[in-house]
Structure 1
């Protein structure tokens, strides 16, 4: 397989567990390249930005020919689709990395491809409109400003590859990873083999005869470090975290300390569940951020007064203890946090392997579909946009906001809808306040 956007190689290690061999890595970050070379000194690495790499260069370095029996895998940089920040989506140069993944697949014609990204890719807008420019006094949303408009473009691009493509939103905890981490997975088959999204092997409480989710205790509970490597806890955070019990966060602070601890975020409408967060022993970890040592993205050890160490971070992502990370402390946290959990990569590899060995049941080419009906319903019924909560809307009354909602809704209903897996009666799309989405937005980020 050819690995694009390789990073610390979490996805690749999982695919190797399933029986594939990485023959080439493409990565632009110097410290991630150093990590690859530290662990796989003989593996060819193209240390360039994907925008400057040609398909001919990739095939030559990998020793492969276009249309051969190999896999292309990777996760284009996901910041553009995250709910954190401005969500510039495909208008952001980072969003165009998806286009380069598609370009490499189109030109090399692998037997299969696997692409992963954040779940925010499902709801990102093609064009970002600032919150203070939505609502009464502003024009209705254009189609490209609606939530989900970027995903429609992504689907069209993938259809253009003339592969059979299956996609779904997967929780890595359902595949034995000690971490609740949602990733959007696309699996493509050049020859139309009926590749299927892997079925879960675990469930929250062992429902359905599956194994229960893997916990933090199982990942790091018996693991001891004399001098844990990582960022120490700053005194400004330590004075609050000492009051947070196992599995708690800022809400467990004494009432008189909460506003002081959160500062301006205390009255903001965004997600706040990550502030001063301490892990629970007997649950999976939340999704690992790239900076677990800041108050807004804190992942504190269940009992020790410190952020998770680099080795603990790696264990939660299921990297082997023998895997070495190069670079600064912050870079190593970032490489690990950005990686795909190895166990999820293994499940993806097993799905590709099963399709590879399939001898019947071909599917139509140029199709992008999911068998997850619940996901389809959520996508069709999601809000068109998000407005500031009432307390941040200025002087305009609720009736004015209702009118703006109605104009936006009618404009949307008159436009051509997204037809993939559309039910007989399409639910009305809503414009919704951001306030009820605090937790889900933080989870997306």
Structure 2
């Protein structure tokens, strides 16, 4: 046996854990009972971390599904790890896209349990072969180079420490460390795209295209380089509130579509954008002032004088978004506001003392009963009363947002449009800056 495989995988985990920059993190771990997730469970059981295992039993393989559950529960008992199993009705297998339904249900359960357990991350056992399949499918579906980056080891609250480890190496690791696992025989069925690629297409490639795996995986780095270049272009055409028309019209057709896509997704990453929609949207540069192009129920792109703007529909305003401190370091645009740090205060914007905030912060719709301590006022005031006092039309009040900390304190109320007094928001007394403030969180309205 090549003991270097186990040593390499263990060191890889240590490196990835250190990148989380959190001492003794807590994880919700999705464990199916297969080699990948059992290897991950074994690895994490050997480090200083709080673990909670979740096993999903879809009941599709009868006794085999129950044996998977028994293995996971048994090993968790042996390794002294808290575990829960969730059974989903197999009748749902009749949905049109079972794989998507299963994934959505799986992550819904993970997130519900993560919130209940107050865990830091959801750990999954995605590995290098999964990454290969992800990138290859994107190529076949015609995704642009910007989408070839595949999955990331750390992606918001998802942790994938095996992403650089091949399936073959995982099998070797399990053998070297006597990690028990079960094989899912349904993985040999080719009715799903991933199985077809894994079981037939890729096997043929090995003979005719030696080294093809590394070539596909290298596209991830090319995609990152492309994204870095696109960021530079975007900074040249985005002025903080919209796209500068003169700069936009100087771009070639491909970059026009990419810039508009980036602009729209910074406002809301859940807006669906097809190739056809982008082809239609990029025509905005050649239209007359006042022209508006609808994007279904998501919003509309419009041209106003020398700028291009995108306005989200009320239906697409996300109810809640979690913002980590490191996400703001390079600047963040979200829900019509830009967030960035500064070493000094700025005029015409909201200035918060960044060191007074409990991170991560959340931006969400205001709710009945919300109250805060407005700047310059003694005591608290209901957000609803504050919006009324600021003379915001009733039709706009419901779209106001609040920025609150991990401690639940509301730090700022953000208006959907500039109020009659010229304000677009109010900060709390609790986060006002003073002569000792070293770091400012700047909030600016961009749309």
- Tell me the TM-score normalized by structure 2: 0.25
Relative to total residues, which structure has the larger strand share, 1 or 2? 2
- Tell me the TM-score normalized by structure 1: 0.26
Relative to total residues, which structure has the larger helix share, 1 or 2? 2
The higher relative CO (CA closer than 8 Å, separation ≥ 6) is in 1
